[in-house]
Structure 1
Amino acid sequence: MIKLKEVALCLRAVNYSDTSQVVTLLTREHGKIAAIAKGARRPKSAFDGAIEPFAYGQVMVMISESHDTLSTLTEFVQSGRFRSLRSNLAAMHAGLFALELTEASFEQSDPHPTLFDALVDMLDRLGQYDKMQAVLPVLIDYQLTLLDEAGVAPRLDACTNCGAPTGSGGKDLYFSSAANGLLCGGCEQAFTEKRRLSPACCAMLNRRAAFTAAPPALLTEAEQLLVYHFTELMHRPPKMAKYFVTRANAMS
């Protein structure tokens, strides 16, 4: 095993026994790590108590050289940086959704420092808001960054099939996850798997600086589109998606 000391964020934690947990950590320099935290559920442990999603701080891990074997977490000095997220439902759900998508999008030992920094920044930003309308722009921005880092960023500036620009004409556009991007009116009939996308939402998605000023209806449309895209990429609906989009619909 290789001894690793790193800054890490807990993406997921499940109880393994009466005293231990299995955790999925995202580290900045070494990517995703699945590890067993022996004794984490005991009142006194080397992990500052039981480990939960959003836990952030310095970890010491004995890295397994086989992806079929869990690494061993030996120390976790938690900073409490994102503890406030649990006091607000909208921010907590957006954060948990981001953690779920991040875990599902990458294999172990596949480092993405830019993504790690973006996720930490996103969680910091979420802690400043208590309403869904303020939370959605932060979530959507991170989801687009995640797709880019995973190498599956959809094309949103032109038809992915023929390359025709899609920024004029005022007609509804289409988005196909299978095509990984937009489809113009002349190409959409060749694709059975697609969703309608308004020109206004398309324009917003191409101007990320405009997210915070976007009307609730456009934010909801964009989030529904991204949920559909992640569902197709993951071959299953994300666990947080149904509840989260339901709340977004209530906002619009």
Structure 2
Amino acid sequence: MVFNTDAIVIRTTEYGENHVIVTLLTPSGKLAVMARGGKRPQSRFVGAIQLGVEGVYSIRRGRGMGTLLQAEVTHSRRKLREHLELAAYATYFAEQCARIAEDAPDGSEALYRLLQGALERLVHNPEEASLTSLAWEAKVVRWLGAGPPWTACVLCGQGLTGGAPADPQIAYSGVHGGLLCAACARAHADHLQLLFLASSLARVLEQLATVPWPRMGRIRLSTASQKSLRTLLRHQLSEYAGLSVKSARFLDSLDL
């Protein structure tokens, strides 16, 4: 069977002396294909099998792994491979997708669009790469069902947006996997390890998680707020979604 599919390259693995196994994320799930001769500099596939590239891929598939027949690049995203920091973020996003995507044809178009939007934002807003990764993590947590709505206390249900000026802080409880209002945070501070946050970050978290990429404007957060949200979201991903990837450690080693 020969078919065409839109796809984004999320992983490449050298195979033998000349070939490359390419993992593609398609609107219907992930798919591994063999790009025969893909390692050769003169291969017609060279420009189409690099991380983050998007295009239309023609694949022949039988009982085993499919074979790449042809590829037409629609978004090369060269910038992702020309800058170390952008490459690190693209690798992080792609590695997570490789972990959580279902095999085609049982996958989700929503995940495909999520990655597509994140990569485009890296290309067009490179100065906001770190903030884009926060939005990515918030969206993945939501997509995986690994977090509550961020606008309500997970213990008492009280809304956390538009709080009284007398209670400028809320808290994140890793044990409960969500945010606590100021009153619940005070009540449990003695026996829970809490991460205290400005109350305004509840709305920020909800917006990062729910606003579609095309509608997301510039993101402005202090360094301290970014650090707090990253700690929170990484904990949700690892403890509630079981999603820890090697590329996260490399990201953290960069002075971003």
TM-score (norm. length: structure 2)? 0.78
| In 1: Cα distance, 2:9 partner to 2:247 partner | 17
* 1:181 match: 178
Structure 1 pair 188–130 and aligned structure 2 pair: CA distance change class (3 A): same
Q: Cα distance, 1:81 vs. partner? A: 2.1
The answer to whether structure 1 residue 201 and structure 2 residue 201 are counterparts is yes
Q: Cα distance, 1:188 vs. partner? A: 5.6
1:148 alignment partner, one of 138, 142, 160: 142
* 1:128 match: 124
* 2:212 match: none
Q: Cα distance, 1:235 vs. partner? A: 3.9
Are 1:86 and 1:92, in contact at CA under 8 Å, matched by a contact in 2? yes
* 2:96 match: 101
* 1:8 match: 7
Render the CA deviation track for 1:103-141: whole Å, top value 9, x for unaligned.
Answer: 21222123322332232222122123444xx21222222
* 2:39 match: 41
Identity among equivalent positions (%) equals: 22
Q: Which stretch has the larger CA shift, 69-78 or 16-25?
A: 69-78
2:108 alignment partner, one of 82, 106, 112: 112
Render the CA deviation track for 1:33-83: whole Å, top value 9, x for unaligned.
Answer: 122222211344452458221122111123456xxx533333223345211
Q: Which has the higher relative contact order, 1 or 2, with Cα contacts under 8 A spaced 6 or more apart? A: 2
| In 2: Cα distance, 1:210 partner to 1:130 partner | 14
| In 2: Cα distance, 1:113 partner to 1:222 partner | 27
Q: Secondary structure at the match of 2:141?
A: helix
The answer to whether structure 1 residue 24 and structure 2 residue 23 are counterparts is yes
| In 2: Cα distance, 1:61 partner to 1:44 partner | 20
| In 1: Cα distance, 2:114 partner to 2:130 partner | 15
Render the CA deviation track for 1:178-230: whole Å, top value 9, x for unaligned.
Answer: 644334427867997x7514134334213435861222221232123222222
Are 1:11 and 1:54, in contact at CA under 8 Å, matched by a contact in 2? yes
* 1:78 match: 73
| In 1: Cα distance, 2:124 partner to 2:41 partner | 31
Q: Secondary structure at the match of 1:218?
A: helix
Q: Cα distance, 1:172 vs. partner? A: 3.7
Structure 2: runs of 5 or more not aligned? 209-215
Structure 1 pair 158–128 and aligned structure 2 pair: CA distance change class (3 A): same
| Cα RMSD for the two superposed structures | 3.1
| In 2: Cα distance, 1:216 partner to 1:101 partner | 24
Structure 1 pair 45–91 and aligned structure 2 pair: CA distance change class (3 A): closer
